[in-house]
Structure 1
Amino acid sequence: MAILAGFATVGASLPSQDPAPAAPKRAPLPVEAFADMPQLEDPKLSPDGKRLAAKIAIGGTQYFAVLTFGKEGPPQLLGAGKADVNWWRWVNDDWLVIGIGQSVPVEGDEWYVTRAIAYQPTTNKVTQLAPRDVAQKGDDIIWMARDGSARVMLAYQTSIYVNRDGFWPKVEEIDLDTGKRRTILTGRTGVMDWYADGAGVVRMGIGFSEDGRSRRLLYRDSNTAMFRTIDKARRGEDRLTVPALFLEDKTKALVIDDDEAGYSALYELDLATLERGKQLFASKGYDISGLITDANGSGFLGVAVEEDAPDVRWVDPDMQAMQETASSLVKGAKVRIVSTSSDRSRAIVAIGGADAPGGYYDFGRAEKSMNPLGFNNPSIRMKRMHPVRTIRYKARDGLEIAAILTTPKGRSGKLPLIVMPHGGPFARDSESWDWWTQFLADRGYAVIQPNYRGSSGYGTAFARRGEGQWGLAMQDDLNDAVTELARLGIADPKRVCMVGASYGGYAAVRAAQRDGARYRCAVSYAGVSDLNRMMKHTRNYLHSGARSDWLREQAPDLKGVSPLNFPEEFTIPVLLVHGEKDAVVPPVHSRLLADRLKKAGKDVTYIRQPEADHHFSRGEDRLEFLKAMEAFLAKHNPA
């Protein structure tokens, strides 16, 4: 049964195992097909498996909703006003905690403030968890009870001023059923983040020096013990040994740390000595992405990895058995378990691939059943689109760069090329569904997504190769991808544009300013144009001064690598698109750049999206962007 059946038609056959035949040349899909919003996003089952919490799309707009299996009628929608719904977790069968955030004016600046709310679906009761005097950070749920009760622990600030006691978060335990609360810890100077174990003991805090350049790890093994400093690190030079998960044995924990080759791996940790024990998991040549824990965040189930494509390696035997059963029901697509009931009789699984958007299915373990819940793209569903693969090339200094290559099905030869650097930049691309790249491939372009130096996932040494190289060697890595694809005969080096969002948008306008001879045009969505301005905003966007000047270290001279300062050097047409509701990169970055380029007589198009955020949360904003990009590329770099 499709639980979304009251407002969306879902129902599709599972993908075939048979390889797709060679496709004849066909007309591209309508642009509207690629602008479709996912019907479900980040679905989470209640412990009893009777309800599902997720973002859903209705009429191209996302809403947070709770859906009940077997219940007719529309889902329960929870409005958060103008705030973003950032995360959600089930506390027990009756209660959810939800993190929301919003940019607000504070003393002449825009600050991003967060709050945690509790929601009871049976009564539609909504409660803000922090008191009214909560300041910027108010959504840090550090513990949820494991006994089925509705108790949680919240860490929150009551002041935005560093010299006030309330700036450093306190910790309270709150009973959602009764509303009773008690203080567990008062704020401690320098400590912004607290961590609790599965039993509800606040075991650890991370403290920062006043200038944010050094850190210390505070630890205790019980509620009655005093905190003591067990590790110190200078910011940017050393790492703290921070446990990823406390184990039932109070002397032991799990830690993610670099192995001898410099890639993050999973180890046991002795909390008394901070000495690593045996290695539990490693992914040769890659960092691990993180731990998979149970719904309460206290039980270790598996490891998330991202080699060429994202995957999960289960260490829990029962989860591995469930994975094998679910995978056996599906041919020709990847199956990923994303949420389970507490007894593991029911799960939500994601089915799809890099060339097929797929969707979410309700998996009944005993019945061995798969029922569709919602598709990541309801127009394309399980249809296989354009092939995706990983290639590797050498940058000009010999550094190996991995890149994701998407090519239009049925076309070969020297194709027009789009270079599409990822955002972050401390992130990476992998072989997974990407509506931007698939849209561009459908229009006849090859798309290359280089994981340039500084990207995450390829070890500490590779990440550090990006330090001080924003707009410099990181930009060279993008140019070198064009050289490699031209050498391979895949791309025509005379028909290349750069397209990107966020940091990728910065890279696109930097290319237009610095490397215009290599490109025909550039497209920036929500891109950064002034790194000094971004550093100031980041200081307000983050919750402490600990990273307030990290951006300063990313180039020898931020002004010298900020495209905003050099409008006269732009030599190719530029398309700028930015949402006015963007809380991550303020729209002033695109607005000022557009103004200066126009004054300099440059070819620039600026599209202001009044209701758009940083993440394309509305279908109409996606559609407007895709149409504008399609027309812009057709004019300046036709396929």
Structure 2
Amino acid sequence: MAAIVVAHAASFGDTGGPQEGCFLMKFYSFTGLSLGLVVIALPAAAQDALSAAEAAKIFGARENILDASISPDGTKVAFVIPGPGQSTVVQMLDLVKKTNMPVNSADGNPMSLQWCNWASNARLVCQLYGVSGVNYQTMMGYSRLLAMNADGSSAMPLASQNRRDSYAQISDGYVLDWGNGSSNKILIARNYVPGKGHGLSGGTQQLEGLGVDLLDTETAKVERVESPDSAAGLYLTDGLGKVRIMSTDEGVRKLGESRGIITYRYRPTGSSEWKAFGTYSRITEVGAIPVGVDGEKDVAYVLNKLDGRRALYRVSLDGKMKTELVFAHPQVDVSGVARTGRQGRIVGARYTTDIGQISYFDPAYEEMMDYLHTTLKSTPLIRIVDSNGDGTKHIVYASSDTDAGRYLLFDQATKKMQPLGRSRPDLTGLSLGTMKAVSYKAADGTLVPGYLTTPPGMEGKKVPAIVMPHGGPASRDTWNFDWMVQFFVSRGYAVLQPNFRGSSGYGDNWFKDNGFKSWKIAISDVNDAGRWLVSQGIADPEKLAIVGWSYGGYAALQANVLDPNLYKAVVAIAPVTDFGALKDDARQFTSSRVVQAYIGEGPHISEGSPARNAAAFKAPVLMFHGDKDINVDIDQARLMDRQLKGAGKSSELIVYPKIDHQLRDSTVREDMLAKSDAFLTKALKR
């Protein structure tokens, strides 16, 4: 835990300089956090027209608030906020004392804070994340849990790290139940490694696999709840402290490799015996996936297919396993359940049309959300981030396509809202591009949905334009604020984000055989998005580019294999470039067989890989990649760069040392945006 700096609030006083062991906190921008602090807007001149450098800095900055949680008694709010580089800080807002100060931090080398939540009014639990290893074959993302007092003192890891292999362990556990906040104890699923002690005592033991412990976050003492199982992958509790469902992968147990079949078991009320619940295939997607348990109703909620789309069902846990349909949508998949409060009470079914929505089956909760939507009309994207112990105070996040979002403290009893801070305060006063839901015809006549964002005042004019396919491919874009889209819009581009076939959320017929096996359909849809921009008079055909990240980076490259004349410039961030290499990269993991089946075999491995078709390119290519990327091996970008240059094409690869797939560093994102803008300006002859 060397990355964590334990410092009392007093260490950050006006001493004239930094204290030993902590950052110079005055370098941080806390202007987005409220309680008597003023959000500083840009100068009027900057609001009218940002320079390229100003735009890259403002839009490339990480959100001012990365996470927020409220104490059980509702008197304190803990924020995770960004510091310089990849560093992160725990910022504590005391609503009673009217103080707002940093209490702890992680330097990002190698670990950064992801979130913090409250075990009690006095004790916080935070998750840190980092990447170990020196190359893709040895690199692995891992997370660690840390407990500390509300003032940042008495920080300690919740699992010992006395073995050299502890960093190779992906996760030391995850929280199942937070309890009611009256004690410092939480229910946690944790990984046991033979010979590795747990808690502060260290020591050795021979247990292996995922088990469940009741853990005291102040003393690190544990009580065994479920013995570790080497094949276990998931435990679900009922919100009342009882483990009711678990999953195992018997392929891992017997063969050391997943066969993609997940077996679920459940415990009937008052029983210690595990009974069969069902199976799910990660390869064929056949079967039910448990997503939550309601202990009071004694039921489990599961996702299962109905007419080719995922629907939400309720299954009784009394031994009879009576199953009933709860909610299904005629156009899109149900993605999961909506929860509220410390116990994670289930209140609705989640699904996404153009925006994320919830079908409620809790009338009181629905009434509260209706009130928030009525009150916050200008920011219709509203979600409850966290709630206090009795469910009367809520941290609310509200945003829109042109509002990056703000955090509010909502008192349900008094209906009062207190501002806590803006996600991106430096955007205050800027005129941003409005995002509109559109659809266009693909070559085979299929209507493809997408989102078009244009520079203010430039609607209906031929402007430089960008097609921006999403990552995944099992993902989709939605109507929301997008920092990269808005950066390019501020630079005068229209941006179209297509939800091409192969995108998830629209059911089996739209997903096809995924964006790898069905790459030609997916990429054809992407290219038809560019042609539509031109045909509608939105885009200047000589100033049309394509920009993508991850699978979107792959799509940006492969689009030029399918039609080398359509785009005049290509920007690909952390792209997949060779399907065969992608399959090889997976061979070191227990999920290798699942990945092999997902990508498949056949001519598409070669035909669908841009690195194997570099000779087709005409447009110049700019790529970015972090060398700590565990999602996509940086060698994919290096291979593409070599192949393009070997074919006599224009290519540049910019590598960011010690940076992961998400480029979680404001300076790096600023550099990526600035270089992309300069590249496009030159390539499109703007």
TM-score category, normalised to shorter length: 0.7 to 0.9
- 1:287-333 Cα deviation digits (max 9, x unpaired): 23322213435411334332112344544344334334444444533
Asked if 1:507 corresponds to 2:507, the answer is no
Which of the residues 119, 124, 127 maps onto 1:96?
124
Secondary structure of 1:478's aligned partner: helix
Which of the residues 191, 212, 237 maps onto 1:156?
191
Q: Sort the Cα spacing of 1:8 and 1:526 in 2 relative to 1 into closer, same or farther, 3 A.
A: farther
Task: Find the aligned partners of 2:90 and 2:420 in 1 and give their Cα distance.
Answer: 14
| Aligned residues of 1:120 and 1:126 also touching (Cα < 8 A) | yes
Secondary structure of 1:145's aligned partner: coil
- 1:334-383 Cα deviation digits (max 9, x unpaired): 24432222334432222331122232223344554444322222221364
Task: Find the aligned partners of 1:301 and 1:154 in 2 and give their Cα distance.
Answer: 24
Task: Find the aligned partners of 1:159 and 1:476 in 2 and give their Cα distance.
Answer: 50
Matches within 5 A, 1:365-444: 365-381=412-428, 383-411=430-458, 412-444=460-492
Q: Sort the Cα spacing of 1:77 and 1:123 in 2 relative to 1 into closer, same or farther, 3 A.
A: closer
Task: Find the aligned partners of 1:361 and 1:622 in 2 and give their Cα distance.
Answer: 27
Secondary structure of 1:54's aligned partner: strand
| Aligned residues of 1:172 and 1:185 also touching (Cα < 8 A) | yes
Q: Sort the Cα spacing of 1:598 and 1:468 in 2 relative to 1 into closer, same or farther, 3 A.
A: closer
Equivalent position of 1:15 in the other structure: none
Task: Find the aligned partners of 1:385 and 1:106 in 2 and give their Cα distance.
Answer: 41
- State the Cα distance separating 1:389 from its structure 2 match: 0.8
Secondary structure of 2:640's aligned partner: helix
Secondary structure of 1:174's aligned partner: strand
Task: Find the aligned partners of 1:123 and 1:438 in 2 and give their Cα distance.
Answer: 37
- State the Cα distance separating 1:406 from its structure 2 match: 0.7
- 1:83-133 Cα deviation digits (max 9, x unpaired): 243444332322333333322239952222332222332452223223435
Asked if 1:74 corresponds to 2:101, the answer is yes
Task: Find the aligned partners of 2:601 and 2:298 in 1 and give their Cα distance.
Answer: 39
Secondary structure of 1:454's aligned partner: coil
| Aligned residues of 1:193 and 1:207 also touching (Cα < 8 A) | yes
Task: Find the aligned partners of 2:279 and 2:157 in 1 and give their Cα distance.
Answer: 36
Which of the residues 145, 153, 157 maps onto 1:124?
153
Give the partner amino acid of 1:10.
V
Give the partner amino acid of 1:95.
R
- 1:595-616 Cα deviation digits (max 9, x unpaired): 3333333211221222433223
- State the Cα distance separating 1:524 from its structure 2 match: 0.8
Secondary structure of 2:368's aligned partner: helix
Equivalent position of 1:19 in the other structure: none
TM-score by length of 1: 0.88
Task: Find the aligned partners of 1:616 and 1:7 in 2 and give their Cα distance.
Answer: 32
Task: Find the aligned partners of 2:194 and 2:37 in 1 and give their Cα distance.
Answer: 45
Asked if 1:457 corresponds to 2:505, the answer is yes
Q: Sort the Cα spacing of 1:74 and 1:235 in 2 relative to 1 into closer, same or farther, 3 A.
A: closer
Matches within 5 A, 1:157-236: 157-158=192-193, 168-210=209-251, 211-221=258-268, 224-236=271-283
| Aligned residues of 2:246 and 2:266 also touching (Cα < 8 A) | yes
Task: Find the aligned partners of 1:355 and 1:5 in 2 and give their Cα distance.
Answer: 21
Task: Find the aligned partners of 1:174 and 1:152 in 2 and give their Cα distance.
Answer: 6
Q: Sort the Cα spacing of 1:127 and 1:9 in 2 relative to 1 into closer, same or farther, 3 A.
A: same
Bigger Cα displacement from structure 2, 377-386 vs 430-439:
377-386
Equivalent position of 1:136 in the other structure: 170
- State the Cα distance separating 1:184 from its structure 2 match: 2.5
Task: Find the aligned partners of 1:5 and 1:146 in 2 and give their Cα distance.
Answer: 28
Task: Find the aligned partners of 1:219 and 1:265 in 2 and give their Cα distance.
Answer: 21
Unaligned runs of 5+ in 2: 1-29, 42-46, 196-204, 252-257
Secondary structure of 1:595's aligned partner: helix
Task: Find the aligned partners of 1:506 and 1:467 in 2 and give their Cα distance.
Answer: 10
Task: Find the aligned partners of 1:531 and 1:87 in 2 and give their Cα distance.
Answer: 34
Alignment: residue pair count: 622
Q: Sort the Cα spacing of 1:44 and 1:11 in 2 relative to 1 into closer, same or farther, 3 A.
A: farther
Bigger Cα displacement from structure 2, 462-471 vs 352-361:
462-471
Q: Sort the Cα spacing of 1:63 and 1:6 in 2 relative to 1 into closer, same or farther, 3 A.
A: farther
Q: Sort the Cα spacing of 1:318 and 1:235 in 2 relative to 1 into closer, same or farther, 3 A.
A: closer
Secondary structure of 1:92's aligned partner: coil
- State the Cα distance separating 1:432 from its structure 2 match: 0.3
Q: Sort the Cα spacing of 1:572 and 1:151 in 2 relative to 1 into closer, same or farther, 3 A.
A: same
Give the partner amino acid of 2:120.
N
Task: Find the aligned partners of 2:249 and 2:222 in 1 and give their Cα distance.
Answer: 28
| Aligned residues of 2:77 and 2:93 also touching (Cα < 8 A) | yes
Q: Sort the Cα spacing of 1:303 and 1:387 in 2 relative to 1 into closer, same or farther, 3 A.
A: same
Q: Sort the Cα spacing of 1:311 and 1:234 in 2 relative to 1 into closer, same or farther, 3 A.
A: closer
| Aligned residues of 1:201 and 1:222 also touching (Cα < 8 A) | no
Q: Sort the Cα spacing of 1:381 and 1:320 in 2 relative to 1 into closer, same or farther, 3 A.
A: farther
Q: Sort the Cα spacing of 1:565 and 1:275 in 2 relative to 1 into closer, same or farther, 3 A.
A: farther
- 1:190-233 Cα deviation digits (max 9, x unpaired): 33222222233322222224251423222222575332333234
Which of the residues 28, 33, 48 maps onto 2:73?
48
Equivalent position of 2:4 in the other structure: none
Which of the residues 624, 627, 634 maps onto 1:587?
634
| Aligned residues of 1:356 and 1:384 also touching (Cα < 8 A) | no
Task: Find the aligned partners of 2:571 and 2:544 in 1 and give their Cα distance.
Answer: 12
Task: Find the aligned partners of 1:317 and 1:437 in 2 and give their Cα distance.
Answer: 37
Q: Sort the Cα spacing of 1:297 and 1:367 in 2 relative to 1 into closer, same or farther, 3 A.
A: closer
| Aligned residues of 1:143 and 1:153 also touching (Cα < 8 A) | yes
